[in-house]
Amino acid sequence: MIRVRNLTKTYPIRGGHRTILDSVSFDLAPGRKLGILGRNGAGKSTLIRIISGAERADAGTVERGMSVSWPLAFSGAFQTALTGRDNVRFISRIYNSDFERNIVAVDEFAELGPYLHEPVRTYSSGMRARLAFAMSMIIEFDCFLIDEISAVGDARFGQKCQAELFEKRADRAMIIVSHDAAYVRDHCDHFAVLHDGHMHFHDDFEDAYTLFKGLIGWTPPPDSGTASS
Amino acid sequence: MTAPGLTHQPACTPERVPSLHEALAIERRVIFALLMREALTRYGRHNIGFLWLFVEPMIFTVGVTALWSLTKTVHGSSIPITAFALTGYSSVLLWRNMPGRCINALYPNLPLLYHRNVRILDIFIARLVLEFMGATMSFMLLGILFHMIGWMELPEDLLEVIGGWFILAWFGMALALFLGALSVRSELVEKLWHPLSYLVFPLSGSAFMVDALPHEAQGYVLLLPMVHGVEIVREGYFGSYAHAHYDLGYVIAIASTLTFLALLQIRAIAPEIIIE
C-alpha cells in the first residue's frame, strides 16, 4: 500500500508562489492502477517525483509500503559521454542488481547491437528511448510510476513495451500520468483529474474524462464526431 | 517478441526504514557507483584513462617544482627547494581543487536524483573522494620518486605528515561542500571563487614558511586555515628544522564549523531543487 497524505507543494514564480499540490491524499493498493489526467503544468510530473522520493514536498507524507520505481520516462537520465553499457552498470550498482544478467537483458530487449558499447551521445532518439525503457525493466518494483511513456517509439517497439510492462507485469501497481486520455483509459482501473492542486477521483473513466474535458475547455466540433482531442 | 532475460518477480522487498548497517551499505554502493561514473566521464577509456586522476596533478606539481627550482624562489628556510615545492603545491591541490570540483557540480547531475537513494550529498562526496585520491596518489608517488632520485629525504614523522594531510583534506572538503551547496543558490560563487583562490594561493603557506615572515605578518597569515595544514605537513616531513607555526585547535575548530555550515546549507537547498 502506498499512502499519500496531505501533500502540498508550491513553486516560486515571479512575484509569489504557485500552489501545484494542495493537500493531496490517496491510497494505492497493490496491483491497482491509477491514471492521472491533467493539463500541461497541472503538477502531474511533480506528484510522480514526490511519490518516487526524488523530490520533496513542502508538507505531507508519502508512506511507501511497497517498492516504488523511479519515474519512468523515455528521456532517461543518461550520462551521454558514457556507453549504454556503462549506464546499465551504474543502475545495477545503485540498485544492487546483477550487472551480468542485466546487460544480457538490455541487449536482447533494446536491440542496440554494437551501439551498446558506444557513447549514448551517438544514439538516435529512438535508440535512447529503447535503452531507457530496457533499463527501466531490469530492476523489478511492486509499483511503477509512469510519466508520459506512450510518447515515443515505433510501432514494433511500442508493442514490446506494452507486453513487457502491461502483460508481464499486470500484477503490479502503477500510477500513470498522461495527457493522452486513451492511454490512461486502456491501462488503468481507476482515475483522477489533477486540477488547481486538487485530485478528483473517479472509478469510471467517462466521469473522469468528462471532468477533464470540461477543465481543458474542450468542446466537440460542431459538425462531426470523428475529430480527435 | 519479449526478452527472456527479464524476470517477473519483484526483486525488491517492501520499503521500510533501513537499519544503520543497511543504510551504510546503500551509501557505500551509491557513492562507489557515482565515483566510477564520474571517473569514466572525466577520463574516459582513451590513452591512459583512469591514470589521469593522479598524472594530471603530478604534471602540475612537477611543473611548479621545476619553476620554483629554476627561479630559486626565496622561501626563507634551509629546506631543499624540491621538497618545499612538493609539500607546498600538493597541499594547494587539496584546498583549491576540491571546491573547484563541487561548485556547480549539482546541475549536470540533477537527473540522478530521480533515483531515490542518490542524494545531493552523495554527488559531492563522490567527487571529493575522487579528488582526494588523485591528490594523495600524486603526493605519494612524487615523494617516492624524488626520494629515489635523491632530491629529497623520506618524511621524518610519517604519521604527522598523514595527520596534516588529512586536516588539509578535511578543510578542503568542508569548504567544497559549503561552496558547492551555495553555488546552487547563486552563480556569484563560481565567479568569485576563481579570483579568490588565485589571490589566496600566495598567502596559503605553499610558497613560504610562516617562520620566515616578519612577526607582525605571521598572525595575519595564520588566520588562513590551510596555512596550518601545510605547516603540519612540513613539520612531519622535515622535523625540527622546519620551525612550523600552527594551532591544531584553531584549524579543527574552523573545519568543524565549516562542515556544520555546509551540511546545513545542503539541507536548506534540498527542498528547492527542481529536477527537470
Residue B162 is placed in which grid cell? 598523514
Average pLDDT, chain B: 87
- B-chain residues near A65 (CB < 8 A): 14-15
pLDDT digits (tens, 9 = 90+) for A130-144: 898 899 899 999 999
Of B10, B37, B41, the CB nearest to A141: B10
Give the residues across from A177 on adjacent strands.
A36, A147
A126 found inside a domain: no
Helix B120-148 × helix B248-269 angle, to 10°: 140
A152 found inside a domain: no
Looking at the complex, report in whole angstroms how far the Cα of residue A23 sits from the nearest Cα belonging to chain B.
17
Looking at the complex, report in whole angstroms how far the Cα of residue A210 sits from the nearest Cα belonging to chain B.
30
Q: Which residue of B has its CA nearest to A145?
A: B114
pLDDT digits (tens, 9 = 90+) for B10-64: 444 445 667 888 889 999 999 999 999 999 988 887 778 888 888 888 898 888 8
Domain ranges of chain B: 24-272
Interface touch B37/A66, C-beta < 8 Å: no
Of A54, A96, A140, the CB nearest to B7: A140
Of B5, B41, B115, the CB nearest to A105: B5
Of B13, B15, B29, the CB nearest to A94: B29
- A-chain residues near B106 (CB < 8 A): none
Separation between Cα atoms, residue A29 and residue A31, nearest integer Å: 6
Looking at the complex, report in whole angstroms how far the Cα of residue B6 sits from the nearest Cα belonging to chain A.
6
Interface touch B44/A169, C-beta < 8 Å: no
Q: How many domains does chain A have?
A: 1
Q: Which of A171, A213, A170, A159 is nearest to A191 (CA)?
A: A213
Q: Which residue of A has its CA nearest to B2?
A: A160
**% of residues, chain A, pLDDT over 90:** 51
CA-CA-CA-CA dihedral for A201, A202, A207, A212, to nearest 10: 30
The ipTM value here is 0.83
Q: What is the CATH number of the domain that holds A181?
A: 3.40.50.300
Of A11, A54, A134, the CB nearest to B113: A54
Looking at the complex, report in whole angstroms how far the Cα of residue B101 sits from the nearest Cα belonging to chain A.
17
Q: Which domain holds residue A187?
A: 1-67+174-216
Give the residue numbers in B contacting A (CB under 8 Å), as ranges: 1-15, 26, 29-30, 32-33, 36-37, 40-41, 44, 111-118, 270-271, 273-275
**Res. A179: pLDDT tops 90:** no
pLDDT digits (tens, 9 = 90+) for A34-69: 999 988 888 888 999 999 988 888 999 999 999 999
**% of residues, chain B, pLDDT over 90:** 52
Residue B20 is placed in which grid cell? 544503520
Separation between Cα atoms, residue B120 and residue B275, nearest integer Å: 12
Tell me which residue has cell 543497511: B22
- A-chain residues near B32 (CB < 8 A): 93
For residue A205, how far is the Cα from the chain centroid?
19
Of B11, B12, B112, the CB nearest to A77: B112
Q: Which of A10, A49, A59, A205 is nearest to B272 (CA)?
A: A10
Interface touch A93/B8, C-beta < 8 Å: no
Q: Which of A87, A93, A95 is nearest to A70 (CA)?
A: A95
DSSP secondary structure, B39-107, as one string: HHHHH-SSTTGGGHHHHHHHHHHHHHHHHHHHTT---SSSS-HHHHHHHHHHHHHHHHHHHHHHTT-SG
Question: In this structure, how many other beta carbons lie within 10 angstroms of the beta carbon of residue A190?
Answer: 16
Predicted local distance difference test score (pLDDT) of residue A215 = 82
CA-CA-CA-CA dihedral for B16, B21, B22, B24, to nearest 10: 120
A43 found inside a domain: yes
With residue A34 as reference, give the H or E element that holds it. strand A33-37
Interface touch A70/B275, C-beta < 8 Å: no
pLDDT digits (tens, 9 = 90+) for A185-216: 999 999 999 998 999 999 999 999 999 888 87
Mean pLDDT of B178-195: 93
Helix A84-94 × helix B20-43 angle, to 10°: 160
Tell me which residue has cell 486540477: A195
A123 found inside a domain: no
